[in-house]
């Protein structure tokens, strides 16, 4: 583990990042104002074949003068302008560099910004779809560097016969890629120059520190990486300018060869490598807003199906425990053939309250990906690219969270359509039809957005250089150049719908306490004057999450209805829909505008998180919660499923560690997709609500992601508190 000096450095870096505007003010993970200003300047000025308007630092202006610009090339030029004009940001303690410039705009720049925003209203609107949410082919970047990518793009461009009109869009794509890649090299050179200046002014250890960084940044990401540190620097430098969520993928697979070579050559020690990995995991805190997942995945299998457990696998878990980042996190792919040693270490890290790693069923996910047409090799090489959304690495044009569907509302509509029903069967049939219509309507909107982006662009073109099969096909991601292009809508309120159906069956059909209309009247009035009935629903009717066969039967029915609602819906890129049930914080957002529901939930309160039991209803222990959670087929839900467990701190260590190992093994054997763990007392969480200033870096798991508790909305904080503290006693 790290010595005092190394730990002190990590703490100073973390403290510094937590003072950055992105952390303190939740600056969105899209372009910050100064970068947006440079983007708009370049976009507005690139209207034809000559340079006009206020001067921007004139990198690549010859390209601008040489040809008329299409809408796509204007975007590429504007992307390049951001990189060409970025000021290098370097903290003296950083071992890896690359951060946005949060310097406030001057009064003159603010006025210019406002005027440019007005002008940009005339630009094609290619927003309102998820950017990023994928993992790029970083191994390729490390093998060939940006210069290698440029050489490949130039060769493909030069090979085109431009007398064939079919090749004109390909040429446009390659030109845009070159603009952006060359601008990355400009930014790299500016960082190297800044480091050289700092080295010339420094003395002693600081001078040596900056000289070493200068040597590294002078080389990567332009050239292939040679060392572990160069690999980390190259990946981060390419990623941090993308302003969105581009996940680091299977770091223990592609970083291990560099670490092993360094170790054998005596260039690095395990502790030095661990410190560098800590810095790597910390960096997203400096430019990705809090409460957003930005994970690296470890474990599982490689493309050929071989188990992956190496020094980097375990080092990543050590780094997660040390860093305790709410943004740069570790996820663990774990299957039946992975070792107990790895699982125990994962449990031990979670037991510290680090909220990491979430554990993904590698066998189930591979099976699910193959089921939807992903090749076996690509199905092994996946990662979570968001909270829990699953996408293959380096070949994804998949849209997750597109969109979030409130299925509690769909159930209420189904009830109103079946006032004379004598069983829940017609209600479920109407529920599926209502959902299907809603999915079709929303997909029409998404298809139109995809169509617009196929014509005018949206994703930075340099991203496509690390996504198969974009370069070989001469098509950007937005044109459908990626190998896989399905869409992953998310369905919110699973547990509420399941428990509501059990309530309807019990009160209306079995006990005949109420008619369907009377039950609707109760929920429409938000249980006003009916608190006794609400308490009966909450405390006397069995719920999902307690291993009740009837409730679990309805969970399977609801799951099948969601799958049915997605069938037959075609995307603009001629693909299909793959559902998910994770909720991010949308269970609270949607819950605020949703009336009361038959499960006893009151108007305006959060819907259930993901497909876990409603908070506080998993009252029969962790085993019962896991049995309910895995009572239905998760393999159809590559859009993401997460099951929440919360343990008191003393329930995951000592002799209880064996119990957690057994529990998670059972979860995996029953083909549960993903489980995440909070190990924290409600006493601590309540105190953090009262005294947030004392808990700046307190972490909790929400729905597929870790979050700084005091940065969460109050209703999400309460939902985490309301989850039952599980124990093995």
The Cα 69–Cα 180 span in angstroms is: 15
- Give every CB contact of residue 500 below 8 A, 6+ residues apart in sequence: 408, 411, 597, 598, 599
pLDDT of residue 334: 98
pLDDT of residue 405: 97
pLDDT of residue 128: 58
The Cα 147–Cα 48 span in angstroms is: 29
pLDDT profile of the chain (729 residues), mean per 10: 93 91 67 87 70 40 55 91 94 96 92 92 74 93 98 97 95 96 97 98 96 98 98 96 90 98 98 98 86 88 97 98 90 96 97 94 98 98 92 96 95 98 98 98 94 91 97 97 97 97 98 97 98 96 95 97 97 97 91 97 95 88 93 96 90 91 96 94 92 88 85 89 82
Put residue 184 in one of left, alpha, beta given phi > 0 → left and psi -120 to 50 → alpha.
Answer: alpha
Long-range pairs, 220-224, Cβ under 8 A, ≥24 = 220/145, 220/188, 221/141, 221/145, 221/146, 221/184, 221/188, 222/145, 222/146, 222/147, 222/185, 222/188, 223/145, 223/147, 224/142, 224/143, 224/144, 224/145, 224/148
Scored b (16 or more CB within 10 A) or e, 140-169 reads: bbbebbbebbbebbeebbeeeeeeeeebeb
* Reported pTM: 0.94
The two structure tokens encoding residue 615: 């908070």
pLDDT of residue 132: 84
C-alpha separations of 719 from 63, 386, 608 in Å: 54, 21, 9
The Cα 411–Cα 408 span in angstroms is: 5
The torsion angle over the Cα atoms of residues 15, 19, 21 and 27, rounded to 10 degrees, is 50
pLDDT of residue 130: 63
Q: Is 704 exposed, middle or buried (0-12, 13-18, 19+ CB in 10 A)?
A: buried
Helix (H, G, I), strand (E, B) or coil at 392: strand
* DSSP element (H, E) containing 679: strand 674-679
pLDDT of residue 724: 82
The two structure tokens encoding residue 263: 């170790």
């Amino acid at each position: 583990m790290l010595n005092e000096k190394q730990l002190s450095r990590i703490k100073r870096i973390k403290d510094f990042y937590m003072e950055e505007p992105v952390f303190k003010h939740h600056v969105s993970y899209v372009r910050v104002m100064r970068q947006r200003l440079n983007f708009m300047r370049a976009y507005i000025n690139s209207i034809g074949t000559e340079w006009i308007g206020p001067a921007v630092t004139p990198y690549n202006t010859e390209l601008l003068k040489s040809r008329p610009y299409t809408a796509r090339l204007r975007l590429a030029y504007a992307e390049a302008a951001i990189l060409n004009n970025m000021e290098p940001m370097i903290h003296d303690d950083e071992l890896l560099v690359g951060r946005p410039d949060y310097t406030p705009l001057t009064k003159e720049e603010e006025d210019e910004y406002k005027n440019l925003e007005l002008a940009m209203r005339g630009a094609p609107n290619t927003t309102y779809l998820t950017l990023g949410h994928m993992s790029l082919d970083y191994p390729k970047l490390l093998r060939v560097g940006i210069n290698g990518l440029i050489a490949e793009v130039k060769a493909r461009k030069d090979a085109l016969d431009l007398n064939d009109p079919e090749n004109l869009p390909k040429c446009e794509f390659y030109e845009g890629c070159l603009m952006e890649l060359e601008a990355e090299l400009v930014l790299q050179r500016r960082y190297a120059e800044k480091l050289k200046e700092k080295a010339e002014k420094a003395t002693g250890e600081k001078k040596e520190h900056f000289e070493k960084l200068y040597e590294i940044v002078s080389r990567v990401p332009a050239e292939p990486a040679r060392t572990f540190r160069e690999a980390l620097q190259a990946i981060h430098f390419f990623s941090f300018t993308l302003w969105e969520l581009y996940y680091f993928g299977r770091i223990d697979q592609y970083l291990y060869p560099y670490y092993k070579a360094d170790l054998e050559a005596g260039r690095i020690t395990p502790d030095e490598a661990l410190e560098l990995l800590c810095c790597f995991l910390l960096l997203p805190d400096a430019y990705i807003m809090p409460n957003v997942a930005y994970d690296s995945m470890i474990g599982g299998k490689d493309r050929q199906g071989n188990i992956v457990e190496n020094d980097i696998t375990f080092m990543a878990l050590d780094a997660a425990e040390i860093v305790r980042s709410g943004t740069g996190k570790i996820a663990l792919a774990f299957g039946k053939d992975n070792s107990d040693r790895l699982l125990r270490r994962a449990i031990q890290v979670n037991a510290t309250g680090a909220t990491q790693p979430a554990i993904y069923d590698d066998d189930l996910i591979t099976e699910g990906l193959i089921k939807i047409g992903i090749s076996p090799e690509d199905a092994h090489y996946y990662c979570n690219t968001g909270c829990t959304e699953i996408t293959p690495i380096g070949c994804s044009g998949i849209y997750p969270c597109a969109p979030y569907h409130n299925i509690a509302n769909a159930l209420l509509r189904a009830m109103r359509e079946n006032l004379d029903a004598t069983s829940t069967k017609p209600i479920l049939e109407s529920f599926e039809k209502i959902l299907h219509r809603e999915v079709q309507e929303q997909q029409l909107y998404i298809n139109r957005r995809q169509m617009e982006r196929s014509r005018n662009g949206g994703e930075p073109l340099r991203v496509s250089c690390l996504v198969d099969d974009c370069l070989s096909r001469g098509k950007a991601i937005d044109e459908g150049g990626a190998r896989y292009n399905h869409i992953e809508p998310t369905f919110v309120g699973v547990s509420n719908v399941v428990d509501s159906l059990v309530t309807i069956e019990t009160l209306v059909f079995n006990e005949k306490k109420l008619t369907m209309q009377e039950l609707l009247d109760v929920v429409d009035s938000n249980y006003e004057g009916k608190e006794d009935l609400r308490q009966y629903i909450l405390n006397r009717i069995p719920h999902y999450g307690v291993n009740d066969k009837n409730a679990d039967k309805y969970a399977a029915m609801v799951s099948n209805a969601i799958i049915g609602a997605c069938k037959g819906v075609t995307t603009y890129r001629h693909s299909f829909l793959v559902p998910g049930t994770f909720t991010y914080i949308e269970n609270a957002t949607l819950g605020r505008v949703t009336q009361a529901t038959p499960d006893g939930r009151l108007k305006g309160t959060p819907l259930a998180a993901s497909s876990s039991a409603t908070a506080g209803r998993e009252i029969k222990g962790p085993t019962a919660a896991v049995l309910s959670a895995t009572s239905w087929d998760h393999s159809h839900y590559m859009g993401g499923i997460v099951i929440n467990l919360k343990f008191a701190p003393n329930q995951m260590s000592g002799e209880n560690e064996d119990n957690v190992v057994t529990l998670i093994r059972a979860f995996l054997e029953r083909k549960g997709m993903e489980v995440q763990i909070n190990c924290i007392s409600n006493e601590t969480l309540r105190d953090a609500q009262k005294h947030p200033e004392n808990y700046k870096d307190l972490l909790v798991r929400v729905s597929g992601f870790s979050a700084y508790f005091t940065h969460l909305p109050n209703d999400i904080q309460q939902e985490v508190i309301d989850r039952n503290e599980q124990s093995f006693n």
